Amino acid sequence: MNFLRGVMGGQSAGPQHTEAETIQKLCDRVASSTLLDDRRNAVRALKSLSKKYRLEVGIQAMEHLIHVLQTDRSDSEIIGYALDTLFNIISNDEEEEVEENSTRQSEDLGSQFTEIFIKQQENVTLLLSLLEDFDFHVRWPGVKLLTSLLKQLGPQVQQIILVSPMGVSRLMDLLADSREVIRNDGVLLLQALTRSNGAIQKIVAFENAFERLLDIITEEGNSDGGIVVEDCLILLQNLLKNNNSNQNFFKEGSYIQRMKPWFEVGDENSGWSAQKVTNLHLMLQLVRVLVSPTNPPGATSSCQKAMFQCGLLQQLCTILMATGVPADILTETINTVSEVIRGCQVNQDYFASVNAPSNPPRPAIVVLLMSMVNERQPFVLRCAVLYCFQCFLYKNQKGQGEIVSTLLPSTIDATGNSVSAGQLLCGGLFSTDSLSNWCAAVALAHALQENATQKEQLLRVQLATSIGNPPVSLLQQCTNILSQGSKIQTRVGLLMLLCTWLSNCPIAVTHFLHNSANVPFLTGQIAENLGEEEQLVQGLCALLLGISIYFNDNSLESYMKEKLKQIIEKRIGKENFIEKLGFISKHELYSRASQKPQPNFPSPEYMIFDHEFTKLVKELEGVITKAIYKSSEEDKKEEEEKKTLEQHDNIVTHYKNVIREQDLQLEELKQQISTLKCQNEQLQTAVTQQVSQIQQHKDQYNLLKVQLGKDNQHQGSYNDGVQMNGVQPEEIGRFREEIEQLKSNQELLRNQLAEKDSLIEKLVQSVPVPGESETVIAAKTTDVEGRLSALLQETKELKNEIKALSEERTAIKEQLDSSNSTIVILQNEKNQLEVNITDSKKEQDDLLVLLADQDQKILSLKNKLKELGHPDEEEDELESIDQDDEDDEDKDDDKSQGDN
């Protein structure tokens, strides 16, 4: 309070005496008036004065206004006036304050009033409870006031809200408010609340913030939306940046998939408003937050895979190759694609397959490299392309091989119809633009990073420097340009390339030393006392010479390790050499480049060091220093140890290869066993079906016995049933074929196991190496023996599994044989029954013929009787006979009923 009075006393233009008295009277009315209307009018008057007379109102009225918030909660109007007044007192957003001194004074007032307000923590809790009121005149000014408090003293207010019960949850409800102005200001409030506070960020995330914010972005039109989309994206960045827990929650919640529509930018002619550019820029940054190289590797990798699976990477590559995209969006898209593919083989392979929509189509990598070596392109764009190329090659030996192969003679397009990545890099390496030289050298160095095979392959590259002259190697051409005294940036780039190329590659060192001019050039550069600008080049020359010593295999008699060290001691001095070597890590731009992989430079002259190269310097500086001071005896001892280690490494490598082959064989055996299991299951299913059919056939057979004396209709039905449920001969044949296949598969497995047993026995017998001590042998082969033991155990398990499979096959065969015999018996019985049925049919046909003959005779007799003149008598007699037969039948029926 003393500070406030001091500020007030120092103001040159404070409130007039009449206004000061008015404010005092209004405060008295607020404090003492019993009528709500009077208090409301007084607070409204204070609100109207609070902007112009902020200090006086703040000093005299703050305590009364807080009391109003506590006691008059039933009246939303007075609460709204009180909140607006407190906001005017605390907020620094005053347009009329344009002078620097008054602005600084205003900021001091805001922070001091905020400190007074939050000194009683219950004031913040009271404000949080007021936000539960749905009335617009209470909720909206409450949101603005709390936002202003967070802007003034964020960490202190965050801590109060964090310990307040349900404090964060109440604020999350603002995002669901149907009134856009409250929802939008709620987003701003949450921005201030989540800034640099991991605990609150986690609570907000688990209160379903991601779902709500993504819904708002979708409703507002994604990248085409207004400033609300921008605010939501900033809040999402607050929640995700440097917060591994929230990043994992975002990925596990399948929210990455919902980002894909953000990058469907539509027709290139639809225009790019400033707001759209801002939104898309923030969206790209949000993708980068999830795949940043500084995140834990596992988290980054899982996000990269999710982005490929949902099509987000494909959508980004579409923007990358589209026309009409603003330069800053294109640059940020390149940087984003870079980090989405960095170290992820699947994504790198996809990127390698992307083509630009040109005629003829060109690979995206080639199109980007064209921009990198084009000095007319913007500097930031060229840096982005270099980063993209580096990320494409990071831990990607396949990609490195593809790039280097474009430089080899056998793969160069002789027609000249298309330009390759290698040709572009060579063109940039030897152009007149020093920035192109540096970028091409660094890019080519990344094609060799931790890849001894490509370092050796690159030695084959030959360049035609001029017509009529023989071609020179790429390695020789690099040293030629170095000796010509080109720009520092060019020489630094070439030296970094040569150091990367020669490190861990004795063959490349031999090629380098084979040119007798190289060592004198390096020693001459190191020995001279040059200016400060040249010290970095001297340090890099010392590093290159040190690499030529440390990785020297002594194959050149004139430049063996010992002779090179003697040259250094004679022409430079060991201490001077080590001092010059130290110039690299002491350079002001070295530490900056070592911090993060992205080459982010404010201007071309700062483009000196590459991130991966700083790692190489850190790795080699110490070992080169030791190598320089070692004696020849120590070198010989070290050489012997190296040879011994190489022999052991060769043995271990041999065993690894053998084990790898055996692993492949085991995998094949496992697959065969899996196949046999499937066949076994199929056979068991077939046998089950066969047993069921046999049982049905037995039932049909019994039914045939019962129905043998019935009419033809029943017999026809029976025959149909037999045909439906009978065993088909082709099925039996198929089962026999499957059993034969099982036999052959089993025999094959047995042969393979026998071969593996023989191979393992040979391995066990061949472990000892003549001339080596048992201790060394045991130390070097422990791992191999462990693998062999595991292999033997796995082979034993396979034998047991095959034995069990064989037993199952035998049981199935027995069951199938039994089924076959049963089928044969039933088939014979069926044939016999069919013969009986045929005989029965024949007998019935004979009876029908006899009956027809008798009917004919009777008819003939009747006709004769008619001719003789006795038709009535005979007919009456026949009728009487028929009647007597009917009576007899009736009597028999009555008798049978009586017996029952």
pLDDT at 105: 62
> 863 or 642: whose pLDDT is higher?
863
* pLDDT at 727 exceeding the cut of 50: no
pLDDT at 826: 72
Q: Give the pair of three-digit tokens for residue 122.
A: 């219950």
Alpha helices, H only, 195-265:
198-206, 209-219, 227-240, 244-252
pLDDT digits (tens, 9 = 90+) for 600-617: 899 999 999 999 999 999
> 890 or 501: whose pLDDT is higher?
501
* pLDDT at 684 exceeding the cut of 90: no
Q: Give the pair of three-digit tokens for residue 885.
A: 């037969």
pLDDT digits (tens, 9 = 90+) for 16-61: 557 888 999 999 999 999 999 999 999 999 999 999 999 999 999 9
Residue 900: pLDDT band (50, 70, 90) is very low
Residue 636: pLDDT band (50, 70, 90) is low
pLDDT digits (tens, 9 = 90+) for 265-319: 765 556 789 999 999 999 999 999 999 999 999 999 999 999 999 999 999 999 9
pLDDT at 718: 42
Return the SS3 of 630: coil
- Whole-number mean pLDDT of the chain? 83
> Percentage of the chain with pLDDT > 70?
80
* pLDDT at 94 exceeding the cut of 60: no
Q: Which residues sit opposite 362 in a β-bridge?
A: 356
Question: What does DSSP assign to residue 356?
Answer: E
Asked if the bond preceding 360 is cis, omega within 30° of 0, the reply is yes
**Burial degree of 401 (CB within 10 A; 0-12, 13-18, 19+):** middle
Q: Give the pair of three-digit tokens for residue 607.
A: 């483009």
pLDDT digits (tens, 9 = 90+) for 420-431: 999 999 999 999
pLDDT at 5: 39
pLDDT at 881: 45
- Kindly report whether the global pTM for this prediction surpasses the value 0.85: no
CA distance 254 to 310: 10
Range name among 72-76, 296-300, 728-732, 814-818 with the lowest pLDDT average: 728-732
Range name among 472-486, 538-552, 583-597, 694-708 with the lowest pLDDT average: 694-708
pLDDT at 268: 55
* pLDDT at 12 exceeding the cut of 80: no
* pLDDT at 731 exceeding the cut of 60: no
CA 512 to chain centre: 42
pLDDT at 361: 86
* pLDDT at 875 exceeding the cut of 60: no
* pLDDT at 733 exceeding the cut of 70: no
pLDDT at 891: 52
Alpha helices, H only, 551-631:
561-571, 574-581, 583-586, 588-595, 611-629
CA 113 to chain centre: 49
pLDDT at 890: 55
DSSP string, 636-704: HHHHHHHHHHHHHHHHHHHHHHHHHHHHHHHHHHHHHHHHHHHHHHHHHHHHHHHHHHHHHHHHHHHHH
- What average pLDDT does this structure show over 802-819? 73
- What average pLDDT does this structure show over 106-126? 90
- What average pLDDT does this structure show over 715-744? 55
Alpha helices, H only, 459-534:
474-483, 488-502, 506-514, 518-527
Question: What does DSSP assign to residue 556?
Answer: S
Query: What b-and-e string marks burial along 714-735, b requiring 16 or more CB atoms within 10 Å of the CB?
Result: ebeebeebbeeebbeeeebeeb
Q: Give the pair of three-digit tokens for residue 301.
A: 């990798």
- What average pLDDT does this structure show over 465-479? 85
pLDDT at 660: 80
* pLDDT at 880 exceeding the cut of 80: no
Residues with Cβ < 8 Å from 481, sequence gap 6 or more? 430, 490, 494
Q: Are 430 and 481 in contact (CB under 8 A)?
A: yes
CA distance 545 to 390: 26
- What average pLDDT does this structure show over 145-162? 95
Query: What b-and-e string marks burial along 306-324, b requiring 16 or more CB atoms within 10 Å of the CB?
Result: bbbebebbebbbbbbbeee
**Phi-psi group of 226: left, alpha or beta (phi > 0 → left; psi -120 to 50 → alpha; rest → beta):** beta
DSSP3 helix / strand / coil % (the chain, rounded to 5)? 80, 0, 20
Residue 451: pLDDT band (50, 70, 90) is very high
Residues with Cβ < 8 Å from 673, sequence gap 6 or more? 749, 798, 801, 802, 805
* pLDDT at 2 exceeding the cut of 80: no
> 789 or 15: whose pLDDT is higher?
789
* pLDDT at 820 exceeding the cut of 90: no
pLDDT at 637: 67
Residue 654: pLDDT band (50, 70, 90) is confident
pLDDT at 778: 53
CA distance 199 to 874: 122
pLDDT at 709: 56
- Max avg pLDDT among 76-90, 93-107, 159-173, 744-758: 76-90
Residue 234: pLDDT band (50, 70, 90) is very high
* pLDDT at 236 exceeding the cut of 50: yes
pLDDT digits (tens, 9 = 90+) for 763-795: 556 555 444 455 544 555 566 566 667 666 777
pLDDT at 717: 44
**Burial degree of 373 (CB within 10 A; 0-12, 13-18, 19+):** buried
pLDDT at 514: 94
> 671 or 121: whose pLDDT is higher?
121
pLDDT at 753: 66
Q: What is the dihedral of CA 421, 427, 433, 435, to 10 degrees?
A: 30
- What average pLDDT does this structure show over 827-832? 75
pLDDT at 770: 45
pLDDT digits (tens, 9 = 90+) for 409-419: 765 554 445 78
Q: Which CATH superfamily is domain 419-630 in?
A: Leucine-rich Repeat Variant (1.25.10.10)
- What average pLDDT does this structure show over 205-227? 95
pLDDT at 705: 63
- What average pLDDT does this structure show over 560-576? 93
> 425 or 642: whose pLDDT is higher?
425
Closest CA to 162 of 127, 116, 194, 134: 194
Return the SS3 of 820: helix
Range name among 14-28, 219-233, 733-747, 812-826 with the lowest pLDDT average: 733-747
Closest CA to 290 of 242, 231, 230, 347: 242
Q: Are 328 and 338 in contact (CB under 8 A)?
A: no
Query: What b-and-e string marks burial along 833-847, b requiring 16 or more CB atoms within 10 Å of the CB?
Result: beeebeeeeeeeeee
pLDDT at 716: 46
pLDDT at 414: 47
Residue 651: pLDDT band (50, 70, 90) is confident
CA distance 79 to 321: 56
Closest CA to 105 of 116, 94, 117, 120: 94
Q: What are phi and psi of 355, to 5 degrees?
A: -115, 145
pLDDT at 6: 38
Residue 4: pLDDT band (50, 70, 90) is very low
Residue 721: pLDDT band (50, 70, 90) is very low
